[in-house]
Structure 1
């Protein structure tokens, strides 16, 4: 998509969202794993499902990565260091460099990174959306610096983490170059308490891990009707990923009586959330100079 002449300032010039259901048709078979790859301008999402015990995947990144293990455990191997076992229901922060993950049959996993040296970005499912970068998206910039245990895998057990008192549905985490919101609740989201909003300088990935959703999307009308877009109400089963461009008004509604888990992804980390004290492990990091 070619940028419009006023794209650096206009809230009315909105790129098309990327959306993908992680179904059999869109999957790639890699040994005993099924894999789906998508991206935002500053992040890459790799969704994995293991068809056999002991299936292994490799990762290489210039920065810390996040490994999500929502339903099954796994083991992370970093060269000659001792292997790290991570249980189901955990999030791992893995230092920069190469590592591998041994997975369990039937398990679903996700690796989130701001850089991947081992992935050709021309091969991701939504590669065409990033032929031309959006200049309005803030770059990753200078990474945050981990203050302690910078060369060790951190395993965070989700059930042990208390959400912020003023934001009880969210559990937020960061790495050097990423932040995520883990949003979990039972049953449908109240339709009287949705939160439509937009971002002027960063994209958002919304990864549906459990439950069914309807993503409500709207482009603000300006004087130039050529830039108008129809509202969209996108049905999103799990697993699926929506990548929301700048200035697109959005809110996600969990539908149905089951448990819902949605992970919002940002890169660079959300400094505003860190400043509010919402990010669980923010004290482990210092902003880069």
Structure 2
């Protein structure tokens, strides 16, 4: 599990019920090796990958090419994974922008996202955005819900109502004793750390598991190996060999519960991995000060009461 210096070592213990259902397989997607699901008239390319409760849209955008959503039923999340770019957001008559790395939340309704330079942008839609589900590369994997994954129950709406919200990483430096840089919406949690140079120390790995939620690991810089071990059940037919999946960025890994997993940056150069969860994690939310916009997006009473 976690080393004594890892902030996650102090997380509260899950009380989720154990399951005898089959464990889903690790799924990894090196996006640039796959055909895009959409190519705009101006050349922006978009790939879609899903988990049980969400759709991730990764766009290699052409400057000035509008990414529009009309009649979007619920808010969605934008992740700007690079410095040196500005993501302009329009929602009705409201406008805002996100400069460099960071996260934005856009209300439901009609909206447009535009980049000022050729760059990558990620949009996260919850599973209620049904028009995007068939466009996902792994849509067939979720023809039936994965039984080990808890279904989405959205958390409370923001206390001051819907509006565009932007959170620049530069305004929220990583602090010792706090894990990463965590932002929350009613349906998502995004943990956005700082890029690190070079390979990960092989003597400082952090194998761990989650009882009932998927982890989506989005690698946006550098090469990684996702190490995954499937726990044995009483049924020998469900046993799997350990997996050590190598991916080059940009890539998405959908890591199923309750597999033991950890990710290892490999080689020289910059490495950056962004973790995404839907719904938000209750254990991270129970840690005071970890969720940087917790005053805007309240947690359910069961979390605030420490259950």
Structure 1, unmatched stretches of 5+, are 1-6
C-alpha distance after superposition, 1:143-164 (max 9, x if no partner): 222123x322111110221334
Using the TM superposition, name which of 121-130 and 98-107 deviates more. Answer: 98-107
Task: Give distance in 2, aligned partners of 1:24 and 1:31.
Answer: 21
Q: Within 5 Å, which residues of 2 pair with 1:23-172?
A: 23=32, 25-28=34-37, 29-32=39-42, 33-51=44-62, 53-59=63-69, 61-71=72-82, 72-81=85-94, 83-115=95-127, 117=129, 119-148=131-160, 150-167=161-178, 170-172=180-182
Task: Give distance in 1, aligned partners of 2:141 and 2:107.
Answer: 29
Matched, 1:176 2:189: no
Instruction: Give the deviation of 1:135 after TM superposition.
Output: 2.9
Q: Which residue of 2 aligns with 1:3?
A: none
Q: Which residue of 2 aligns with 1:212?
A: 223
Instruction: Give TM-score scaled by structure 1 length.
Output: 0.89
Instruction: Give the deviation of 1:115 after TM superposition.
Output: 3.8
Instruction: Quote the RMSD (CA, aligned, Å).
Output: 2.1
SS of match in other structure, 1:261? strand
Matched, 1:227 2:229: no
8 Å CA contact 2:55–2:132 kept in 1: the answer is no
Equivalent residue in structure 2 for 1:269, among 276, 280, 287: 280
Matched, 1:237 2:248: yes
C-alpha distance after superposition, 1:225-245 (max 9, x if no partner): 211111111111110100111
Instruction: Give the deviation of 1:127 after TM superposition.
Output: 0.6
Task: Give distance in 1, aligned partners of 2:163 and 2:278.
Answer: 22
Q: Within 5 Å, which residues of 2 pair with 1:252-267?
A: 252-267=263-278
SS of match in other structure, 2:283? helix
Instruction: Tell me the matched-pair count.
Output: 278
SS of match in other structure, 1:128? helix
Q: Which residue of 1 aligns with 2:12?
A: none
8 Å CA contact 2:285–2:299 kept in 1: the answer is no
Q: 1:162 to 1:194 in 2, by over 3 A?
A: same
8 Å CA contact 1:50–1:106 kept in 2: the answer is yes
Task: Give distance in 1, aligned partners of 2:97 and 2:295.
Answer: 24
Using the TM superposition, name which of 159-168 and 103-112 deviates more. Answer: 159-168
Instruction: Give TM-score scaled by structure 2 length.
Output: 0.84
Using the TM superposition, name which of 152-161 and 36-45 deviates more. Answer: 152-161
Task: Give distance in 2, aligned partners of 1:208 and 1:87.
Answer: 20
C-alpha distance after superposition, 1:208-264 (max 9, x if no partner): 011111100111223422111111111111101001111121110111222211111
Matched, 1:248 2:259: yes
Runs (4 or more) in structure 1 with deviation over 6 Å come to none
Task: Give distance in 1, aligned partners of 2:89 and 2:33.
Answer: 26
